[in-house]
């Protein structure tokens, strides 16, 4: 079960449109611009310690000895809602999101990865998900629900196949 908050952006007197079109009603433009610059630089940074420092400067909680691979894409709207435990491995080209824009509403929620979590390459982790300590997420998976401690999950959507 994902822990999501929902916000309807219906406003009297405003043109009806999807929430993404009104992105800057929820997050200030300059904040998005600054976070985008930091995240783009961190995505290609070859130093894990420097990369983790860059993410921490945005309010993310990153544990010691965590390795975030090349081209990982963190949420640019609310990176401060991402917590990654110690000694984790986040694989190449993974995406971690803390928000979702739909036609009629905006959803958002924290993403928490416990200690010693292994996330394979090209994984997408959606808003509101918690991945338990020592869980393994197979490459190419889409994590749409919580994954328990010590589980092995794969697929689209990710399903626990071993626990």
**Each residue of 15-25: pLDDT tens digit?**
677 788 878 88
Cis before 155 (ω within 30)? no
User: What's the burial of 126, exposed, middle or buried (CB within 10 Å: 0-12/13-18/19+)?
Assistant: buried
Q: CA triplet 18, 21, 25: central angle to 5 degrees? A: 100
- In a domain, residue 109? The reply is yes
Query: Which residue has better confidence, 21 or 116?
Result: 116
Percent of the chain whose predicted confidence (pLDDT) is above 70: 94
- In a domain, residue 111? The reply is yes
- In a domain, residue 2? The reply is no
Cα–chain-centroid distance for residue 2? 13
Query: Which residue has better confidence, 71 or 3?
Result: 71
Which of the 8 DSSP states describes residue 34?
H
CATH of the domain at 41: 2.160.10.10
Widest pairwise Cα distance in the chain = 52
**Each residue of 44-100: pLDDT tens digit?**
999 999 999 999 999 999 999 999 999 999 999 999 999 999 999 999 999 999 999
12 has a pLDDT exceeding 70: no
Say what the pLDDT of residue 102 is: 85
Element (H, E) at 153: strand 152-154
Say what the pLDDT of residue 24 is: 83
13 has a pLDDT exceeding 70: no
Q: Rounded to whole angstroms, what are the CA distances from 44 to 37, 51, 70, 76?
A: 12, 9, 6, 15
Say what the pLDDT of residue 163 is: 81
Q: Which of 28, 65, 78, 99 is catalytic?
A: 99
- The pLDDT confidence band at residue 14, using thresholds 50, 70 and 90, is low
Query: Which residue has better confidence, 112 or 23?
Result: 112
Say what the pLDDT of residue 153 is: 98
Say what the pLDDT of residue 11 is: 53
Question: How many folded domains does the chain comprise?
Answer: 1
Q: How far apart are CA 95 and CA 4, in angstroms?
A: 18
Domain membership of residue 55 as a residue range: 9-162
pTM, entire model: 0.91
Say what the pLDDT of residue 72 is: 98
Q: Is 99 a catalytic residue?
A: yes
Q: C-alpha dihedral over 32, 71, 141, 153, to 10 degrees?
A: -100
């Amino acid at each position: 079960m994902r822990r999501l908050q929902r916000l309807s952006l219906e406003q009297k007197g405003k043109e009806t449109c999807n929430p993404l079109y009104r992105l800057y009603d929820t997050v200030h433009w300059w904040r998005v611009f600054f976070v985008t610059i930091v995240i783009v630089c961190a995505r290609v940074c070859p130093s894990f310690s420097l990369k983790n420092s860059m993410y921490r400067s945005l309010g993310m909680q990153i544990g010691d000895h965590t390795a975030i691979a090349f081209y990982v894409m963190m949420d640019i709207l609310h990176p401060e809602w991402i917590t990654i435990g110690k000694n984790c491995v986040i694989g190449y080209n993974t995406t971690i999101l803390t928000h979702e824009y739909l036609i009629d509403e905006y959803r958002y929620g924290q993403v928490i990865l416990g200690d010693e979590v292994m996330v394979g390459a090209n994984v997408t982790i959606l808003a509101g998900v918690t991945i338990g300590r020592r869980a393994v997420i197979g490459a190419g998976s889409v994590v749409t629900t919580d994954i328990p401690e010590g589980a092995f999950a794969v697929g689209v959507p990710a399903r626990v196949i071993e626990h």
